[in-house]
Each structure stands twice: as C-alpha cells, then as structure tokens.
Amino acid sequence: MNYSNYCITCMHDTCGKFPCAICGSEQDTSNPPPGLQPYTVLNGQYLIGKCLGLGGFGVTYIGLDLVLKMKVVIKEFLPRHIARRDTHKSIVVPITNDFKEDYDYSLSKFIDEAQTLARFNHQNIVPILFFFKEKNTAYFIMRYIPGCTLEEHVRRHPDGLSEEEMLDIIMPVLDGLEEVHKAGVLHRDIKPKNIFMSDEGKPILLDFGAARYAISNKLSIWLTHSFAPLEQYAADTTYGHQGPWSDIYACAATMYSCLQGYNFEKKRLDGPTRAPDRQNGHPLPHLKNVSKKKLSRPFADAIMKGLEMDIKQRPQTAREFQELLKGSQRQALEKKHELLILAGEFEGERIPLSSKPLIVGRNPRKSSLVFSDTNISGTHVQFHSANGMVYVMDMQSTLGTYINDTKRISPFEIVVVTTGETVSLGGRVVFKVVERDS
C-alpha cells in the first residue's frame, strides 16, 4: 500500500499536496542512519515517520497508528555500541557474534521495562500503549503528546525558572517516581532531556534505563555525567548500592541544572560538578550562589541535600525528598523580614515588612516612611514581603535605587532581595534586609 501521501513530520494525510498544510514541511523520504526509513510499517499497524531522536540505546520516531488513525511515538531498541542495522534486511544485529549474548540479554531487559511501565497508569510517567518484537529487536508504542523537553523549556525562559516554577515541575515527577520505586524499578537516567513538558505544562518522566543498566553491568558504565551519583560509576558496590536515593541525586542535579539557567553560549544546560570530580576534591558551588534567580536558603539547602555524595545523607525516597522540599517552603513562608537602616536620618532603626506595601519617599501624603533628605524622591521606592521573600520596586526615582551599591533597578521593575543584601536610595539612605527576631 502507498503511504507517501502522509507528511512524515506531523503524520497528516496531505492527499499528495506538499508542502504540508498543517506543519509546512516539504515531502521528505529519508531518516539518518541507523534509523528505519519513513513509510516502513511495523507490526502491520504502525507507520514510521520522521526520526525524533538518535540515542546511544535506541531510535525514536513519530508514527501513525493506521488502525486508530492516531499519532504515536515509536521507540526502537538499538544499542549502537553493541548492535547495528543490517541495511539489506533492515533488521538489528549484534556488531559481531561476540556481542550476541550481551545483545540478547539487554533486549530482554528492554522488554521487561516495557512490561513494567505498561502496568503503570500515572499521569507523570510516559504511557506505554503497546510493545512488540520485530526485526530482531523490540519497540515501544507511546502516546504522542505535544510539548518539549525540560531542557528546551528552560531555554525558552532566558530569565531562569523561579523556585515556585521548579517545584511545579519536580513535585509531580517525584509523585511518578515514588510509584515506580514501589514496584522495584529505578530510572537511572533522570535529567532535563528525559523530562517532557506537555503543552499544558504537565511534566512526564521519559526513557527509563533498565536495558542501559543491564549493558552497563555486563560491559562498561553508561550514564549521564553530572546527573549520575557516584554509586552509578561502578558495576559493583564499590561506591555503595544503587536505590531510590540514586534517582533522588539525579532529580536534585536536574533542579540544580535548571535553576542555573540555560547556557546560551554553549547551547546547553550545565549540570553540577561530576560526582567523581567531587570525590577527587573539586567543589560543588552552593546552588544559592549560582542560580539564575534568587532562591530562599532553605529551598537551595534542600536541593544540596539531595546532592550529598554520601548515600546515607541523602533523602532515601521520593516522598522523603518531597517532604524536605515542602519543609523548605514552610521555613521560607514562616520567615519575617525587616529593614535595618544603615545610613540616613533614622540610622540604626528597624522597619518591619509585611504584605502591605511600604512606600519610602519625601512626600508625607504618599509615603509610609518619610525622609527629609532632598536627594530622596517624593515617592522613591516600595518594599513588601510575601511568601518569605522581600520585593523592591523603584517608583521612577530621580537618583535611582541600587541593590548592593551595584545594580540600579529600572523604574517600576520588581526585584527580589534576600537576607543580608542592601538597598540604597540615591546613595543617601541605605537599608539592609534582615530577618526579624521571632
């Protein structure tokens, strides 16, 4: 049967009219090796489209369920360091007979993984619709969900993710991970590229690594540097047993990486210092010192706890890590702040902050805190405190508002300041943010 009317980019039936009216793609009839070629039909039902990704352990395609007329994602097992595509027969074969036992073993683990994941019905775990063996390998059929990876999501937020945005992503992922761990399954490769963000904002955990782990145990270590804990760098228990705590490390590393922000110069997300390098004395900077946006100390500390080198010092379960993160939020919310006046006519006094805006200026009718210094504008700056954070907004002052004597705030720009930072009004009045004694 001729399927060339289908656009291999979006699987729309174009009726032979290209470029595609839905996605604008021209007709294309090739995938890069070792991918299967477009218009290949698997299991008599699934039409192969464009290759979405080529990884070390497999190939991912967009596809079409020809029975249900539904877009799907097709994952093919092809571990390229021990197997290859026989281009004449399009089947997958071991590179040499020496790798046949290893290939068969890892293929069985890939199928075991599919069977395990297919049992889960969790909104934050990639849904496996069907799996089958063909072409001397195996395939997952997954529901197609519009969206992008978490790495791409961070790239689209050049100002970085906030504490609240990161929690909205990682908490559901940990919910899914808890269910998986209860079934005795570890992910072993959590990273921003393996968390998918649907267009509705729902995070979904992808690409579990059972087969990858099977090959690593028999051949060499296969992992993602910066996101893997030290215990994953040994095929034995030299650095400790792997367990749920290993995935917790990877979750914390993912949060660390995302909160640092996208590195546009290198076109990637930078992960934390690699575990073996940390073992050899290379430090891991505290997240609070490298995050793109300002974070509360308890929240940053909770993530650093997940990145502990010592297994026993980390949260032991996904639920425990969630509780640690929730506790950090409670601590932040319970914090009360005030302004200590370091310079100006009320030097030494402390001004409590609340959710009610505190306007500082020279105009007594419009300002809550009035200074007589003529260098201060009528309404110079506004402070308020909410959710354990302190917010500052310059009110179009003449001489400006400065954070730590270096950064001048733009008019009506709202900036978060943290404990210990200073706010200067035209260099005449200086406030320091301090925590209020309970």
C-alpha distance from residue 295 to each of 58, 287, 305, 322, 395 (Å): 38, 9, 15, 17, 24
- For the cut 90, the answer to whether the pLDDT of residue 340 exceeds it is yes
- We find that the CATH architecture of domain 41-143 is 2-Layer Sandwich (3.30)
Burial (CB < 10 A; 0-12, 13-18, 19+), residue 68, is exposed
Which are the contacts of 191, defined by CB distance < 8 A and separation ≥ 6? 224, 227, 250, 253, 254, 257, 271
- For the cut 60, the answer to whether the pLDDT of residue 346 exceeds it is yes
pLDDT in tens, 353-370: 988 999 999 999 999 999
Give the up-direction half-sphere exposure of residue 271: CA atoms within 13 A in the CB hemisphere.
22
337-435 under CATH 2.60.200.20, yes or no: yes
Burial (CB < 10 A; 0-12, 13-18, 19+), residue 352, is exposed
For residue 174 the two structure tokens come to 């940990």
- For the cut 70, the answer to whether the pLDDT of residue 1 exceeds it is yes
- For the cut 70, the answer to whether the pLDDT of residue 222 exceeds it is no
At how many degrees (to 10) do helices 244-260 and 163-182 cross?
Answer: 160
Highest mean pLDDT among 78-87, 174-183, 272-281: 272-281
pLDDT (average), residues 370-386: 93
DSSP string spanning 238-254? Answer: TT---SHHHHHHHHHHH
pLDDT (average), residues 235-242: 76
Which pLDDT score, from 0 to 100, does residue 216 have? 47
Long-range contact set of residues 173-176: C-beta below 8 Å, sequence gap at least 24: 173/124, 173/203, 173/205, 173/251, 174/251, 174/318, 174/319, 174/321, 174/322, 175/122, 175/124, 175/318, 175/322, 176/122, 176/123, 176/124, 176/125, 176/204, 176/205
- For the cut 90, the answer to whether the pLDDT of residue 432 exceeds it is yes
pLDDT in tens, 100-121: 998 998 898 888 878 877 888 8
Whether 75 and 114 have beta carbons less than 8 Å apart is answered as no
Which pLDDT score, from 0 to 100, does residue 80 have? 87
Q: Cis ω on the peptide bond leading into residue 32 (within 30° of 0)?
A: no
**What are φ and ψ of residue 425, in 5° steps?**
-105, 95
Using pLDDT thresholds of 50, 70 and 90, give the confidence band for residue 221: low
| Angstrom distance (rounded) from CA 189 to CA 82 | 20
Whether 233 and 225 have beta carbons less than 8 Å apart is answered as no
Residue tagged 């430090």 (tokens):
283
pLDDT in tens, 167-214: 999 999 999 999 989 888 888 889 999 999 999 999 999 887 644 554
Which pLDDT score, from 0 to 100, does residue 219 have? 41
| Angstrom distance (rounded) from CA 90 to CA 183 | 35
434: left (phi > 0), else alpha (psi -120 to 50), else beta?
beta
pLDDT (average), residues 238-248: 88
Using pLDDT thresholds of 50, 70 and 90, give the confidence band for residue 311: very high
pLDDT, greater one: 263 or 210:
263
Whether 150 and 172 have beta carbons less than 8 Å apart is answered as no
Burial (CB < 10 A; 0-12, 13-18, 19+), residue 301, is middle
Which pLDDT score, from 0 to 100, does residue 355 have? 87
* Residue 351 neighbours by CB distance under 10 Å: 16
Query: CATH 3.30.200.20 occupies which residues in the chain?
Result: 41-143
For residue 105 the two structure tokens come to 């073993």
Which pLDDT score, from 0 to 100, does residue 214 have? 47
Instruction: Assign 224 to helix, strand or coil.
Output: coil
Residue tagged 């029975």 (tokens):
67
147-334 under CATH 3.40.50.620, yes or no: no
Instruction: Assign 234 to helix, strand or coil.
Output: coil
Whether 419 and 337 have beta carbons less than 8 Å apart is answered as yes
Q: For all residues of the chain together, what is the average pLDDT?
A: 90
Q: What angle do CA 160, 170, 70 make, to 5 degrees?
A: 100
For residue 45 the two structure tokens come to 């039902």
pLDDT, greater one: 284 or 185:
284
- For the cut 90, the answer to whether the pLDDT of residue 404 exceeds it is yes
Query: CATH 2.60.200.20 occupies which residues in the chain?
Result: 337-435
- For the cut 90, the answer to whether the pLDDT of residue 380 exceeds it is yes
- For the cut 80, the answer to whether the pLDDT of residue 429 exceeds it is yes
Using pLDDT thresholds of 50, 70 and 90, give the confidence band for residue 68: very high
Predicted TM-score (pTM) of this structure: 0.76
Query: CATH 1.10.510.10 occupies which residues in the chain?
Result: 147-334
- For the cut 70, the answer to whether the pLDDT of residue 217 exceeds it is no
| Angstrom distance (rounded) from CA 391 to CA 417 | 6
Which pLDDT score, from 0 to 100, does residue 116 have? 77
Which pLDDT score, from 0 to 100, does residue 211 have? 43
Find residue 269's DSSP bridge partners: 262
Which pLDDT score, from 0 to 100, does residue 229 have? 95
Q: Cis ω on the peptide bond leading into residue 364 (within 30° of 0)?
A: no
